[in-house]
Every structure is written in C-alpha cells, then in structure tokens.
Amino acid sequence: MSILHSIILGIVEGITEFLPISSTAHLILTSKILQIEESDFLKSFEIIIQTGAILAVIVYYFKKLLDIEVIKRLIVGFIPTGIIGLTVYKIVKAYFLGNTTIVLSSLMIGGVIMILMEKFYFKNKKEKETEVKNISYVKCLMIGLFQAIAVVPGVSRSAATIIGGMSLGISRKTIVEFSFLLAVPTIMAASILDIYKNFDSFHAVDVSVLSIGFVASFISAIFAIKFLLSYVRKHDFTMFGIYRIVLVICFLAI
C-alpha cells in the first residue's frame, strides 16, 4: 500500500465513518477500485484507521465524554458489541472483510430498509427529545444489540444504531450524538484487539502508512460530524438509503 493509497483511504474513512453508509464498505470498495492487493495488513488498516475518526469525536465531544452519566450509558451500550465482537472476530476478519458479495448485499438491504423505515414507520412516529445522559439503560443495551449487527461489513455501525435508536422513540439529534459517542469505546476496542493480534506482523513502513491514514481520517471526520449534525435538523435519512442502492448499482456496473 502506498502513501497516496493511505491518504485516500483515510479521507474515505473520515467522511463515511459517521454517515449511515458504512465506512468499512467504502474502504473495501475503494481498495478494490484502487487495485490494492488484499492482505492481512489491508484488513488491519481498514479496522485501525477508524481510530482517526474516533479522535475527532473525542475532540468534538470532550466535555460530554467526561460526564459520568454519559460514560455509564456508553458502557451499557458497548457490552453487546464487545461480547459479540470478541466471539466472531476471527470469522469476520477471515471471511467477511474483503468479501465484495457480502458488502454489496449489506449495502443494498440496508438502503432499502432505511427508505422503507423513513417512509412507513418514522414519518408519523413521535420522537422524544432528550439528552444522551437521560436515555434509559434498557434502551442503551438495545442500541448496543443493533450496533452488533454491524460486525457484518456493509451494514454500517452508524445506520444500525441510528435506525435502532429511532425505532425506540429517541429523537434523530439525540441518537446521532449517541451513535458518535458509542463509536469511541467500540472502535477503540476493535483497533486495540487487532493491534494486539497482529502487532508482530507490522513493519516500520506499515506504521508510517497507518499514521498518515490516521491523520487524514481525523481531519475529514471533523467535517463529517459537523455535516451530519446540521443535516439531521432539516432532513431524514432517505437520501442515504438511495445513495447506498445507487452505489451498489454503480459498482456492479463498473
């Protein structure tokens, strides 16, 4: 993987991590388009590079991440993902990451579900405006279960948590913020686990490539966070569902 590849993938990761369009899918598809050789390092890169986007959340929501009530809810929300993630880590990395069929299928199905939910379910559903620290522990646990579905590449961690939270009656603004914050323990844990499992196989040049991708991811993620927070004030997620479907069609056409 070249430095240019690292920068491109870092930008793609930062832009797509918090949008309900699956950053993992975009990284995998972008790697295919750039004809980057599939390898264990590439799979690790696609996992670890997400920490750049997470740093953007930490910077943006630093004060909220110091609130003990918010922290407790993030711990509860992380539990299902942590357990399921540890259980299926080897299977996901060996057979799911890099599997274009799974990625495209997940993108398409997720896009259709998103459009249908917005059109027939969320349209007339009353949302309860609240703060992240006031979400019940039961709902936090259920959101964590929704997030765990995103171990399948292409589902989108953001989409799973947002759609799941809205189906529980949580407002768009609140669940988007909770999704941002829940990404911190989730992705940090996934990255630490992957580094622990594969550290001995990394070379000096790999560390350089990761570092550059990390910076690119961090910078672009700041803009993505601001965009989504502004977007949800006036729009629903139908356009993201349409985008997912169009992306699959375009990729298959190419």
pLDDT digits (tens, 9 = 90+) for 152-200: 888 999 999 999 999 998 988 899 999 999 999 988 888 888 877 777 7
The CB density around residue 129, as the number of other CB atoms within 10 Å, is: 9
Question: Which pLDDT band, with edges at 50, 70 and 90, does 28 fall under?
Answer: confident
If phi > 0 it is left, if psi is from -120 to 50 it is alpha, else beta; for residue 22 that is left
Cα angle: 99, vertex 18, 123; to 5 degrees: 100
Question: Which pLDDT band, with edges at 50, 70 and 90, does 247 fall under?
Answer: very high
pTM, to two decimals: 0.86
If phi > 0 it is left, if psi is from -120 to 50 it is alpha, else beta; for residue 55 that is alpha
Q: What b/e readout covers 162-194, taking b as 16+ CB neighbours within 10 angstroms?
A: bbbbbbbebbbbbbbbbbbbbbbbbbbebbebb
Give Cβ neighbours of residue 239 (< 8 Å, ≥ 6 apart). Answer: none
Q: H/E element holding 214? A: helix 204-231
Segment 53-81 shows an average pLDDT of 94
Confidence (pLDDT) at 127 = 64
Q: H/E element holding 244? A: helix 238-253
Distance separating alpha carbons of residues 52 and 95, to the nearest angstrom: 25
The tokens describing 234, both together, are: 């006036």
Mean pLDDT for the chain overall:
89
For 208-234, the pLDDT digits (tens) are 888 999 999 999 999 999 999 999 888
If phi > 0 it is left, if psi is from -120 to 50 it is alpha, else beta; for residue 127 that is beta
The tokens describing 35, both together, are: 């004809």
Check pLDDT > 90 for residue 37: no
Sequence spans of domains, the chain: 3-253
Strand partners for 170: 128
Distance separating alpha carbons of residues 95 and 120, to the nearest angstrom: 35
For 93-152, the pLDDT digits (tens) are 777 777 888 999 999 999 999 999 988 878 766 666 689 999 999 999 999 999 999 888
Give Cβ neighbours of residue 25 (< 8 Å, ≥ 6 apart). Answer: 103, 104, 106, 107, 153, 154, 156
Confidence (pLDDT) at 91 = 82
| One-letter identity of residue 89 | Y
Confidence (pLDDT) at 213 = 92
Bigger pLDDT: 206 vs 5? 5
The dihedral through the CA atoms of 181, 183, 185, 186 has a sign that is: positive
Distance separating alpha carbons of residues 227 and 176, to the nearest angstrom: 12
Confidence (pLDDT) at 227 = 94
